[in-house]
Copies of this chain bind each other. A is one copy, B any other.
């Protein structure tokens, strides 16, 4: 049985919960097809410790697929990140009080890594299932991008990891109550969406070429 590692984050920014962990913990242990099983891990929303915990989970579970999830306040859909960049630039402190500015995630690492998920095929799969989704050209420069870059850097060294990437998800509706005008998505739909993502990953050898870019 191969393993799929899904990670979610601790709450941050004054929230009581983090939708990324709420969805990921509900998928823990689930079988996908007859060959893969999900294992879920919870990451602190901290620059340093997030990658330590991620590395430990990678060693423990030896997954062939890794998808890290994070909350994107204000975004309205399941947001498939295209690229991780080698910089931390925090506008607010992380949960440990650290606020790195213009520091590389990995000293001497390449400027960026592209996701190895078939993001265009995934977007199409989600759309066919009535689930809003889009390609994102930036995962920001906070802990989400930090984990994404750290993951892709590790994946570039570990041949056991076949596919890796990062997905941002909206607020849950109960969170959006406190953020007037902010978009949200139900937990049920995010959960269904992530299962569709995994189906798409497993059945796609070569990503589709469907336009998903941004003019700027």
Interface residues of A (CB under 8 A from B): 13, 70-73, 75-77, 82-83, 85, 87-92, 99, 101-102, 110-114, 120, 126-127, 130-135, 137-142, 144-145, 168, 173-174, 176-177, 180-186, 188-189, 207, 209-216
How close is A69's CB to chain B, nearest CB, in angstroms? 12
Separation of A188 and B147 alpha carbons in the complex (Å): 34
How close is A155's CB to chain B, nearest CB, in angstroms? 13
A82-B87, A112-B83, A112-B111 known; A137-B141 Cβ under 8 A: yes
How close is A150's CB to chain B, nearest CB, in angstroms? 15
Are A102 and B142 in contact, with the CB atoms below 8 A? Answer: no
CB-CB nearest 7 A-B residue pairs? A89-B213, A141-B213, A112-B112, A130-B174, A183-B183, A111-B112, A140-B216
The copy count of this chain in the complex is 4
Partner of A85 from the list B70, B133, B137, B181 (CB cut-off 8 Å) is B137
How close is A200's CB to chain B, nearest CB, in angstroms? 15
Separation of A97 and B60 alpha carbons in the complex (Å): 51
Separation of A182 and B183 alpha carbons in the complex (Å): 8
Separation of A60 and B92 alpha carbons in the complex (Å): 45
Separation of A137 and B102 alpha carbons in the complex (Å): 12
When C-beta atoms are compared, the residue in chain B nearest to A72 turns out to be B216
Are A142 and B101 in contact, with the CB atoms below 8 A? Answer: no
| Chain B residues within 8 Å of A145, by CB | 216
Q: What are 16 pairs between A and B in contact, CB < 8 Å?
A: A89-B135, A89-B213, A89-B214, A91-B213, A101-B212, A102-B120, A110-B111, A111-B111, A132-B182, A134-B181, A137-B141, A138-B214, A141-B214, A142-B213, A142-B215, A173-B189
How close is A162's CB to chain B, nearest CB, in angstroms? 19
| Chain B residues within 8 Å of A130, by CB | 173-174, 177
Are A131 and B173 in contact, with the CB atoms below 8 A? Answer: yes
When C-beta atoms are compared, the residue in chain B nearest to A141 turns out to be B213
Are A173 and B185 in contact, with the CB atoms below 8 A? Answer: yes
